[in-house]
Chains A and B, each alone.
Chain A
Amino acid sequence: MTRYIISRLLQLLPTILGIYTLAFFLMRVLPGDPATFIIGVRDDTEAVDNLRRIMRLDEPLLNQYLGFLGDGLRGDFGRSYITGQPVSEMITTAFPITLRLALAATFFAVVVGIPLGVIAALRRNSFWDNVSRLIALVGVSIPVFWLGIQLQILFGLQLKWLPISGSSEFRHLILPAITASGGMLALLTRMTRSSMLEELNQDYVRTARSKGLRERLVTMRHALRNALLPVVTVWGGSLAGLLSGTLLVEVIFNWTGMGRLLVQAITTRDYPLMQGLIIVLALLYAGVNLMVDLLYPLIDPRIRYGK
C-alpha cells in the first residue's frame, strides 16, 4: 500500500511538469510582446525596455522557462497586469469561494444521485426509475449556464424564494449548487443504477437472500457496497466537468470565486492571472484524481496495489 502511494505520487511529477510547461508555452503563442501590451499605445521605448528587463523578456526562452518554473513551483505566478496584486494572493482569496460551491454541488449530486440510482435499480421501470433515466439524459445535455438562468428566473424572480446573486449566506448557495451539480448528478445516478443492477444478479446476493437476510441488509450492506466502486471511478472523471461547470455558475450567480477571476482575466487580457488560474485549476484536478485513486483500496479491500 505504501509503495502504491509512493509510486502514484511519483507519477504526479511529470504531470505537474507538463501542466507548467503547457501553461508557459500557451502564453508564449500570444501575438505581440507583453511589455508593449502593458505600456500600451504610448510609444515609449525606454519604458518598454525597462519592463522587458523586469519581466525577463530580454532573456533567452530557456532562461525564461526555467525562471518561470522556479517561481511557479513555489507558487509565485507574478503580478496581475491590471491590479498589480500578486496573482497567488488573488487566487488564494478566490479559492475558498469556489471550493465551497464545488463541495456543495458534489454533496447535492451524491445525496440525490446515489439513492436515486439505488431506488431505480431496485424498482425497475417504476416512476423513480423513469425519473432517474430522465435526469441521466437531461443532466448531460443541459447547458449549465442556461439552467442557472432558468432557476434564477423561477425561484429568484417569480417565486422569490431564493436570492439570485451573492455568496455570503447559506441561502445563496442553494441555486448555484443545484445548477453546478447537473452533470455529476446525471453520471452518479446512471452509474449507481447500472452498477447496482449488476451486483444484484451476483451469486452472493442470492446466497445472502437464501440464508434469510432481510432485503434491506442484502441491498444496502452487500450489493451497494460492491456497486459503489465503479461509481467512485466515474465520479473522479466527472470532476473536470464539475470544475468547469462551477466556473460558469459563478459567472451567472455573481460569485467572486476563481471562475469570475478567470472571466475577469480573459476580458482584461490579464495573462499572468490567466496563467496562474489555469495552473491552479489543473493542479487541483490532478490532486483530486490522485485522491480518488488512493480511495479505491479503502472502499474495496480486494484491490491491493504495489505487489
Chain B
Amino acid sequence: MANNVVVLEGDALGVRRRSQWRYAARRFFANPLAIVGMVIVTMALACAFFAPIIAPYEANWGDLGRLYVKPPSPEHPLGTDDVGRDIYSRIIYGAQISLKIALFSQALGVLIGTALGLIAGYYGGFVDSLIMRFVDVFMAFPLLIIAIALVAVLGSGENNLIIGLAAVIWPGVSRLVRAQVLMLKETEYVSAARLIGVRDGGIMLRHILPNLLTPLIVFATLGTAGVILSEAALSFLGLGTADATTPSWGKMLAESRAFIRSAWWMPFYPGMTIFLVVLGFNLLGDGLRDALDVRAR
C-alpha cells in the first residue's frame, strides 16, 4: 500500500466534508513513524500532567544518606545527581516546565502571528506593509539570538521565557497566514460572503480562519519541537526558570556539565529526553502534514 505517498488532488482551500478528516485520519494511522511520534508526545504530556503519580520520588527529594552521585540501579533506574536526587523522577517533573513553556509560547506566538497575518493579508495596503516590515526585521535576526537577548534583558522566569520565545514564533506564523489569506480572499465563497453583506471581521473569523486550521496545526506541531529545543538551550545558558528547585531538562543538562568525568548518566538522560520528545513532535508534525496534505515550511 502506498498510503503515505498518496497526494490528494485539489487543494486545502476547498470545502472539507467530514469524510476528508476521516481520510486524513486513515492516512495518519497508516504511517508508523507518525504513530511513534504521537505515542512519544502523549507520554510526555502524561508525564507533565501526572508527574506526582508517575514519579517514584519527589523532584527535590535527595538521598543524602550515602554517596550522592549514584549510577543507575534498580532503586534509581537512571541514577542520582550530585545531591542524591533521583534523575528519573526529575525528568518526569521536568516535563511540566519544559512542555508548559513550549506549549504556552507556541500558543501565544501562533495567536499573535495569526491575528497580524490575517489583518495584513486581508486589508493589504499600508497596514500590510507596516506589519510585514516588522516581520522582516524580526526574521533578519537569527531567532534564537532574539530570544536570548529578550530573556536576558527581561530577566529569567517562566513568563519572560514564554514572552521571549513567542516573540520569535509570531513572525513565521504571520508570513504563513498572510500568504494563505492572500489566496483565500480571492476565492468565490469569500466574494459571495462579502456580497451578501458579511462584515470584514465575520469573513476573517468565520470564512478564512477555518481554512487556515490545517496548515496552522502542522506548523504549530513542528514548531513546538523547535521551541522545546530553544527552551532547553536557554535553560542551558542559565536563562531558564528563575526557581532553582524546579527541574527543567535544559537546566539538568547544564548542571551536569561539571560531572561528565564522574557521572555520565547525569547529562545523558535529560538530553536523551529532550531529543526523544523533540523527535516525537517532529514525527507527529511530519505525519500530520502528510495526512492533511499541507505544505507548511
Interface residues of A (CB under 8 A from B): 14-15, 18-19, 21-23, 26-27, 29-31, 137-138, 140-146, 149-150, 152-153, 157, 239-241, 243-244, 247-248, 251-252, 262-263, 265-267, 269, 271, 274, 278, 281-282, 285-286
Tell me the complex Cα distance, A247–B155, Å: 20
Report the minimum CB–CB distance from B82 to chain A (whole Å). 16
Contact of A143 among B144, B149, B274 (CB under 8 A): B274
Q: Is the CB of B142 within 8 A of A244?
A: yes
Give chain B's interface secondary structure class: helix
Contacts A141-B279, A142-B275; A282 near B154 (Cβ below 8 A): no
Report the minimum CB–CB distance from B39 to chain A (whole Å). 15
Q: What residue in chain A is nearest B239 (Cβ atoms)?
A: A266
Contact of B140 among A31, A239, A285 (CB under 8 A): A285
Give chain A's interface secondary structure class: helix
Q: How many A-B residue pairs lie within 8 Å, measured between CB atoms? A: 127
Q: Is the CB of B149 within 8 A of A153?
A: no
Contact of B136 among A18, A31, A244, A247 (CB under 8 A): A18
Q: Is the CB of A22 within 8 A of B137?
A: yes
Contacts A27-B153, A262-B148; A143 near B143 (Cβ below 8 A): no
Tell me the complex Cα distance, A29–B267, Å: 35
Q: Is B194 interfacial (CB-CB < 8 Å)? A: no
Query: For chain B residues 31-58, which have a beta carbon within 8 Å of chain A?
Result: none
Tell me the complex Cα distance, A196–B278, Å: 28
Q: Is the CB of B261 within 8 A of A157?
A: yes
Q: Is the CB of A240 within 8 A of B152?
A: no
Q: What residue in chain B is nearest A252 (Cβ atoms)?
A: B257
Tell me the complex Cα distance, A143–B237, Å: 13
Count of interface residues, chain B, beta-carbon cutoff 8 Å: 43
Q: Is the CB of B137 within 8 A of A141?
A: no
Contact of B150 among A26, A243, A251, A252 (CB under 8 A): A26
Tell me the complex Cα distance, A174–B10, Å: 49
Q: What residue in chain B is nearest A251 (Cβ atoms)?
A: B237
Tell me the complex Cα distance, A26–B225, Å: 26
Contacts A18-B136, A266-B238, A285-B141; A29 near B261 (Cβ below 8 A): no
The listed residue with most A CB atoms (<10 A of its CB), out of B140, B225, B267, is B140
The listed residue with most A CB atoms (<10 A of its CB), out of B141, B278, B283, is B141
Closest 3 A-B residue pairs measured CB to CB?
A146-B271, A18-B137, A244-B144
Q: Is the CB of A157 within 8 A of B232?
A: no
Q: Is the CB of B133 within 8 A of A18?
A: yes
Q: Is the CB of A146 within 8 A of B261?
A: no
The 29 sampled A-B contact pairs (Cβ below 8 Å) are A14-B136, A15-B137, A18-B136, A19-B140, A19-B141, A22-B138, A27-B153, A141-B225, A142-B278, A143-B232, A143-B236, A145-B232, A146-B267, A149-B271, A150-B268, A152-B260, A240-B143, A244-B233, A262-B148, A266-B237, A271-B153, A274-B152, A274-B153, A281-B142, A282-B140, A282-B141, A282-B145, A285-B141, A285-B142
